[in-house]
A and B are shown apart, each in its own frame.
Chain A
Amino acid sequence: MLELKNITCGYASGFTLEDISFRLKKREFLGIVGPNGSGKTTLIKAITKLLPAKKGEIILDEINIDEMRFKEIARKIAVVPQSFNIQFDMSVEEFIFIGRIPHKNAFQFLEEKKDEEIVDNAMELTETLQLKERLLSSLSGGEIQRAAIARALVQQPQILLLDEPTSHLDIGHQIKILDLLRKLNKENSLTIAAIFHDLNLASEYCSKLLLLKNGKTFSFGVPEEVLTYQSLEEVYNTPVIVQKSIISGMPNVSVVPHPQEYRRKTE
């Protein structure tokens, strides 16, 4: 469904993603992990054509995205950013309706019944119906995240990209959001690619992981293949312990605090 072939792209400041290649199949739940500055957000920008690729190509549904207009891409891919910087307060409903813009016909000025139904549907799925009239400024972190996902859903995308969907949330809300994503992935056939900071959450929820280091692919595969202590120690430059989770059997990463002390003890 989405294939990146040898993508190289970057910023004027010098940071570049180099030679990234992977394939994202339908109904896959991809987790993008890696240290700060390894290029995770840059990757998302490359996929949505926000950042033009210097080398390589990205194929979406068998079409090169270079040949697609922004609007066409917006109908297939929706992005949930890490946070919003909104200067003018609005209601949740208004906020979500903005997501319908890619589907507006040339001469359509007002929303149609179809638009309303899609918005209602999305709000039901994300349990945000009760927040309809509330102002964005009055929402909690978890509520904003759910509203943001709803806004992305009304774009009726085939692929949902999320930039650190759980970083600002407490553990309860983290699970809630990820369960929602999982439901969307399994029941609504939504292909998802999300950036994770928390390796364990990525391990539990993702069907595939992409580990980046310094703008290059370090490894790509199922969590068991990617989350090995050798890989992680090399990428994150800190000792870790990887065990199998008692509950799910997926790899569980534990950090080693103040590792120098342990090293001295074992010497």
Chain B
Amino acid sequence: MSINMKKRFASWTIWLFILLILVLAVGFLSLCVGSGGFYFKEIISAVSKRGSPEFSILFDIRLPRIILGFIVGGALSLAGVILQGIFRNPLVEPYTLGISGGAALGVTLNIVFGLSSIFGVISMPIAGFLGAVVVIILLYSLSINKRILKMHELLLCGVMISFVCSSVLMLLMAVSKTENLHGIIFWMMGSLEQPDMNLIRMASIVSVAGLIASYFFCFDLNALLLGEEEAAHLGVNVERTKRALFIIASVLTGFSVSVAGIIGFVGLLVPHLARMFVGNDYRILNISAFLLGGCFLVFCDALARIVIIPLELPVGVITGILGGTLFIYAVLKKRLIFG
């Protein structure tokens, strides 16, 4: 019977291999695509011409976008997979909990009060992250009771906070100046365009750290599949696991949102896609969701850049439409819900 085990291990390895190839393929495809317009053959020649605008386009414009796409796509998908695990609810995603609402509010306040002129351009992502942190702390304190994190309450609070943030956001938009409005809307539409390499580096570190941290809890997450009590009966410290994973997922989300704006659906769809392909074992699910999420986002970004060339659509539009359609397909395939 050990053949079964070897089969499983082998299939995981193959799957990881496929994912890595997919990462390279999507990355390369994305590198070839853009409003500057050139394709495969021209890339080879462009790489050699250092200092030319073509080289600059490839390495100063497209490459950072692709890197950020993998980072943010991976972070959001991983957060989604983790949250679905601790909430035991297939509809939970990083934005359901209102974290993105908090970040949006932070950024809007930053724009409305013109803090960028005082603190520089870095104030935008910092404001976004602070907004996310405020929501996270609020959620946590509202749902923790005698050191027990009530997931049901957490979810409800999250949804409510999300609505409240949207409304406050609309209030701010109604009374703000027109030029501010543009800034707010731009940010909210989500974009992988980020000129500050330091931010991209920071986000990469956080993202990968989150992935590694999640692996300390992969067995706990597997046990949680059966239920919170059942997991406790299997020796899992359920409260500590929930707390730690909640924080990991929130930090991943907060960082992603503050660096790239609101890019929806990735955190909801990719975990389900990953589950469709690899099953529920979190040992393979975490990394699969991470890599698949990155590929998905980079692919959507590439689409966003060629659909109405020479104009660019916001990447959130593509993830929404493509993500939504794929999600409906996945649901119809019925592997999702038990019973």
Contacts and interface: CB of A to CB of B under 8 A. Distances in A.
A31 B2 CA distance: 38
A74 B235 contact: yes
A98 B222 contact: yes
B234 A116 contact: no
Contacts of B28: none
B278 to A, nearest CB: 11
Nearest to A89: B338
A79 B339 CA distance: 23
Interface size class of A (residues with CB under 8 A): 35 or more
B5 interface: yes
Contact of A93 (B4, B9, B219, B229): B4
B283 interface: yes
Contacts of B4: 93, 116
A171 interface: no
A81 interface: yes
Given A89-B338, A101-B219, A111-B5, A74 B227 contact: no
Max chain A Cβ within 10 angstroms of own Cβ: one of B227, B237, B336: B227
Contacts of A173: none
B1 A86 contact: no
A253 interface: no
B275 interface: yes
B320 interface: no
A94 interface: yes
A48 interface: yes
Interface stretch (A102-110, A178-186, A215-223): A102-110
B235 A73 contact: yes
A69 interface: yes
Nearest to A95: B226
A155 B226 CA distance: 15
Nearest to A110: B9
A111 B5 CA distance: 8
B89 interface: yes
Interface in B46-99: 88-90
A90 B280 contact: yes
Contact of A88 (B90, B223, B234): B90
A85 interface: yes
Interface in B233-247: 233-237
A87 B229 contact: no
B233 A109 contact: no
Interface size class of B (residues with CB under 8 A): 20 to 34
Given A81-B227, A94-B279, A109-B283, A101 B233 contact: no
A50 B233 contact: yes
Contacts of A75: 235
Contacts of A243: none
B227 A101 contact: no
A71 B239 CA distance: 14
B339 A78 contact: no
Given A101-B235, A104-B219, A88 B281 contact: no
B225 interface: yes
A120 interface: yes
B234 A102 contact: yes
B90 A98 contact: no
A116 B2 contact: yes
Interface in A38-80: 45, 48, 50, 69-75, 77-79
A79 B235 contact: no
B205 interface: no
Interface string A148-186: 000000010000000000000000000000000000000
Nearest to A161: B233
Given A50-B229, A116-B4, A90 B279 contact: yes
Max chain B Cβ within 10 angstroms of own Cβ: one of A70, A72, A93, A113: A70
A53 B279 CA distance: 39
Contacts of B338: 86-89, 136-137
A50 B232 contact: yes
A28 to B, nearest CB: 20
11 contacts: A48-B233, A50-B232, A70-B235, A84-B230, A87-B89, A94-B279, A98-B223, A99-B234, A101-B223, A110-B9, A137-B338
Q: Which 5 A-B pairs have the closest CB atoms?
A: A74-B235, A71-B235, A102-B235, A79-B233, A70-B235
Interface of B: 1-2, 4-5, 9, 88-90, 219, 222-223, 225-227, 229-230, 232-237, 275, 279-281, 283, 335-339
